[in-house]
Amino acid sequence: MSKSETLLSLLDGQKVIPVLQIAEVSHAVPLARALVRGGLPMIEITLRTAGALEAITRVAAEVKEAIVGAGTILDARQFDEAARAGSKFIVSPGVTPGLLAAAKDSAVPLLPGAITPAEIMLAREAGLTFLKFFPAEQAGGLAFLKALASPFGDIRFCPTGGVNVRNAGDYLALPNVACVGGSWIAPHDLVEAGRWDTIEMLAREASALAKG
């Protein structure tokens, strides 16, 4: 099984990946539990806050049902740090030779960002056929992904960036889209207020959207 196939198997049919920016490490575990209860066990915690790695470590240790990954990985050093913290998968906004080399030497699968044909071909030559499409809306959105389907028939994408409850269904209807990523499921104000029941409800709605 290739690493892209491993990553797709981790999804296990989940079509919406919550993309989380956690400012308070104490929020990580209850947030992950709310998302798991809502039917979204695979979550991405971005390395955009000082406590992100600790948040990943806590979720990996305390929420066994969760499949926690690290996002906004920019180089090989961050890849290694995130893997050591307990990340089950790594997400990057782009693709570089250094990241591809780090991923090659690791059992943790990489979901690199690729939007241009050259970037897609670079990832494909490295054996990766499941890629992040970021920033989706700003890069051309649905029309661009439709255009990529013909020359890159073996590539599947996870669009993020501008994806929300209103347009997620349109992205998921594309045959080359495996899932979408978004922050609307756990908005900052609800996380800060500890509104775990509301976040669980939003997760359930996202799960239903994917099935519908």
- Among the listed residues 44, 125, 192, 205, the single catalytic one is 44
Average pLDDT over residues 60-83: 98
pLDDT of residue 179: 97
Locate the DSSP E strands across 134-190: 156-159, 180-182
pLDDT of residue 161: 97
Residues β-bridged to residue 133: 159
Q: How does residue 1 score in pLDDT terms, banded at 50, 70 and 90?
A: confident
pLDDT of residue 184: 96
Cα dihedral 70/8/129/139 (nearest 10): -60
User: Does the structure show a pLDDT above 90 at 79?
Assistant: yes
Ramachandran sector of residue 65 (left: φ over 0; alpha: ψ -120 to 50; beta: rest): alpha
The one-letter amino acid at 44: E
- The full set of domain ranges for the chain reads 3-206
User: Does the structure show a pLDDT above 70 at 210?
Assistant: no
Question: Residue 132 catalytic?
Answer: yes
Question: Residue 54 catalytic?
Answer: no
Give the chain's mean pLDDT: 96
- Among the listed residues 132, 137, 205, 211, the single catalytic one is 132
The one-letter amino acid at 129: T
Question: Model confidence over 85-122: pLDDT tens digits?
Answer: 999 999 999 999 999 999 999 999 999 999 999 999 99
Question: Model confidence over 125-163: pLDDT tens digits?
Answer: 999 999 999 999 999 999 999 999 999 999 999 999 999
Report which of 43, 158, 144, 46 is spatially closest to residue 112, judged by C-alpha positions: 158
Q: State the DSSP string of 87-107.
A: -SSEEESS--HHHHHHHHT-S
pLDDT of residue 209: 77
CB 32 within 8 A of CB 59: yes
Residues ≥6 apart with Cβ < 8 Å to 154:
124, 129
φ, ψ dihedrals at 84, nearest 5°? -65, -30
User: Does the structure show a pLDDT above 60 at 212?
Assistant: no
User: Does the structure show a pLDDT above 80 at 56?
Assistant: yes
- Judge: domain 3-206, CATH 3.20.20.70: yes
Report how far apart, in Å, the C-alpha atoms of 75 and of each of 112, 121, 181, 194 are: 11, 19, 21, 32
The CA R_g of the chain, rounded to the nearest whole Å, is 16
pLDDT of residue 200: 98
